[in-house]
Amino acid sequence: MPKSKGKASETIAFLKPYLWPSDRADLKIQVVWALLAMLVGKILTAFTPLTFKWATNALTVHAPQLAHPDWWTMIIGMPLVMVAAYGLVRILFNIFNNIRDAMFAAVGQHAVRGLANRSFVHLHNLSLRFHLQRRTGGLSRVIERGKAGIETIIRLTMMVGIPTIVEFVLTAAIIALQFDLIYVGVVAVTVVVYVWFSIIASNWRISIRKDMNEADSDSMSKAVDSLLNFETVKYFGNEDHESQRYDRATAMYEKAAIKTYTSLAWLNIGQTVIFGIGMLVVMVMSVLEVMNGTKTLGHLVMVNAYMMQLSIPLNFIGTLYREISTGLIDMEAMFKLLDEPQEVTDATDATDLVISDGHVSFKDVIFSYDPDRAILKGVSFDIPAGKTVAVVGPSGAGKSTLSRLLFRFYDVKGGSIEIDGQDIRQVSQASLRKAIGMVPQDTVLFNDTIAYNIGYGKYGASRAEIEHAAEQAQVAGFIATLPKGYDTEVGERGLKLSGGEKQRVAIARTLLKAPPILILDEATSALDTHTEREIQASLDDVSKNRTTLVIAHRLSTVVGADEILVLKDGVIAERGKHADLMRLNGLYHSMWERQRAADAARETLAKVAAEVE
Question: Distance between CA atoms of 540 and 556, rounded to whole angstroms?
Answer: 13
Would you say residue 380 has pLDDT above 90?
A: yes
SS3 string, 389-447, reads: EEEECCCCCCHHHHHHHHCCCCCCCEEEEEECCEEHHHECHHHHHHCEEEECCCCCCCC
Residue 205 lies in a domain: yes
Residue 6 pLDDT level (bands cut at 50, 70, 90): very low
The span from the CA of 288 to the CA of 300, in Å, is 10
> Environment class of residue 583 by beta-carbon count within 10 Å: exposed (0-12), middle (13-18) or buried (19+)?
exposed
Q: Which of 305, 339, 373 is the last residue of a domain?
A: 339
- Domain total for the chain? 3
DSSP state of 486: G
| Domain interval for residue 570 | 360-435+515-612
Q: What is the H or E stretch that residue 380 is in? A: strand 376-383
Mark whether 423 and 494 lie in a shared domain: no
pLDDT tens digit sequence for 112-151: 777 777 777 777 777 667 666 665 556 666 777 777 777 7
Mean predicted confidence (pLDDT) in 438-458: 84
- Region 497-518: mean pLDDT is 84
The pLDDT confidence band at residue 414, using thresholds 50, 70 and 90, is very high
What kind and span of H or E run contains 196?
helix 181-228
Q: Could you tell me which residues are beta bridge partners of residue 340?
A: none
Per-residue pLDDT averaged across 275-285, rounded?
Answer: 88
Q: What is the mean pLDDT of the chain?
A: 79
CA atoms of 368 and 372, how far apart (whole Å): 8
pLDDT at 4: 41
Are 425 and 471 within one domain? no
Q: Are residues 371 and 323 in the same domain?
A: no
One domain for residues 294 and 405: no
Is 77 part of a structural domain of the chain?
yes
- The predicted pLDDT at position 66 comes to 44
Distance CA 251, CA 264 (A): 20
Residue 389: per-residue pLDDT: 93
Residue 242 has pLDDT above 60, yes or no: yes
Q: How far is CA 497 from CA 337, 490, 591, in A?
A: 34, 6, 32
Contact 344, 429 (CB under 8 A): yes
One domain, residues 335 and 366? no
Same domain, 607 and 499: no
Among 495, 512, 529, identify where a domain stops.
512
Residue 135 domain-assigned (yes or no) = yes
Mean pLDDT in residue range 531-549? 75
Q: Are 164 and 316 in contact (CB under 8 A)?
A: yes
β-pair partners for 422: 419
Residues 246 and 365 in one domain: no
Task: Give the bridge partners for 518, in sequence order.
Answer: 437, 548
For the chain, the C-alpha Rg in angstroms (whole number) is 36
Within-domain flag for 487:
yes
* 540 and 412 inside one domain: yes
Mean pLDDT along residues 397-423: 90
Residue range 563-578: mean pLDDT, rounded:
91
Q: Is the pLDDT of residue 536 over 60?
A: yes
**pLDDT at res. 7:** 55
Residue closest to 452 by CA, chosen among 482, 494, 483: 494
Same domain, residue pair 19 and 145: yes
The verdict on residue 351 lying in a domain is no
Does 596 fall in a domain? yes
Whether 182 is covered by a domain: the verdict is: yes
Contact call for residues 555 and 565 (beta carbons, < 8 A):
no
Neighbours of 581 (CB within 10 A): 23
Cα(107)–Cα(79) distance, rounded to whole angstroms? 43
Confidence of residue 406 (pLDDT cuts 50, 70, 90): very high
- Asked whether residue 294 carries a pLDDT value surpassing 60, the answer given is yes
Over residues 164-182, mean pLDDT = 81
Residues 485, 369 share a domain? no
pTM flag (> 0.85): no
Residue 89 has pLDDT above 70, yes or no: yes
Among 489, 512, 535, which residue terminates a domain? 512
Check which CATH number belongs to the domain holding 402 and give it: 3.40.50.300
**Given pLDDT bands bounded at 50, 70 and 90, which one contains residue 212?**
confident
Same-domain pairing of 377 and 245: no
Report the pLDDT value the prediction gives residue 607, as an integer from 0 to 100: 65
pLDDT band, residue 523 (cuts 50/70/90)? low
Report if residue 344 sits inside a domain.
no
Q: Of all residues in the chain, what percent are helix, strand and coil, respectively (each to 5)?
A: 65, 10, 25
d(CA 512, CA 463): 11
Q: How far apart are CA 404 and CA 422, in angstroms?
A: 18
209 Cβ partners below 8 Å, 6+ apart?
260, 325, 326, 329
